[in-house]
Amino acid sequence: MARRPVLVALAAAALLTPVLALGSPAGAAATPEIDPFRTDVVSPLLADCSKVPPAGRAYARMHDLDICGTTETPVDQPLPTEAVGGEECGDLTVTATGRGGGVIAVGWRVTSRTGPITSVTLDLTVLGRTAGEVRHIFDTEAAQISHDGIVRAVGAGPAQVALSGTVETFITTCAITPVVTRILVR
């Protein structure tokens, strides 16, 4: 007979839960979003077709890289610039990981589809419960891939990482579509 009060309580809770959920402002299907301990975000790099220099145009034609109309537009005609910021020229991947003890690790990796990267200019912001940092990153080593990272103590709890900037390649300037992500730092 000791089981009966427990079963009655469970049955009442099962009947009452949908009523409470419907009465909530977010509705019955809403569940709180939980920040993960690790996140990987991929964002496209977008070409600025107005900034393709003659040498970049020649490089694109030589390597059959069709960006901003470089392979289709005759050399004696200007490139179409209406695609400013519209054509993808690579990717940015941002990885944020809560390492425990209030520490966050943030790594970034830029890959180019428009020839080697000649420079990367990034603004990285890391905000946490007890600390934050804004960092301006400038890398001038030519490579097809550019990557780096930081590890910082920001306190246990939710943290936010934001990254934006530009990437210069042999062909043109590529803008990074700004990335903002949140994680939980233990």
| Cβ-Cβ contacts under 8 Å for 92 (sequence gap 6 or more) | 42, 43, 44, 45, 108, 109, 110, 163, 167, 176, 177, 179
State the pairing for strand pair 157-169/173-185: antiparallel
Q: How far apart are CA 59 and CA 57, in angstroms?
A: 5
Output the pTM of the full model. 0.74
Q: Is the dihedral of CA 93, 176, 111, 71 positive or negative?
A: positive
Fold of 38-48+85-185: Immunoglobulin-like (2.60.40)
| Cβ-Cβ contacts under 8 Å for 17 (sequence gap 6 or more) | none
pLDDT tens, position by position, 164-186: 999 999 999 999 989 999 999 98
Tell me the average pLDDT across 52-64: 92
pLDDT of 139: 86
pLDDT tens, position by position, 5-17: 433 333 333 333 3
pLDDT of 77: 87
pLDDT tens, position by position, 80-122: 876 545 689 999 999 999 998 999 999 999 999 988 999 999 9
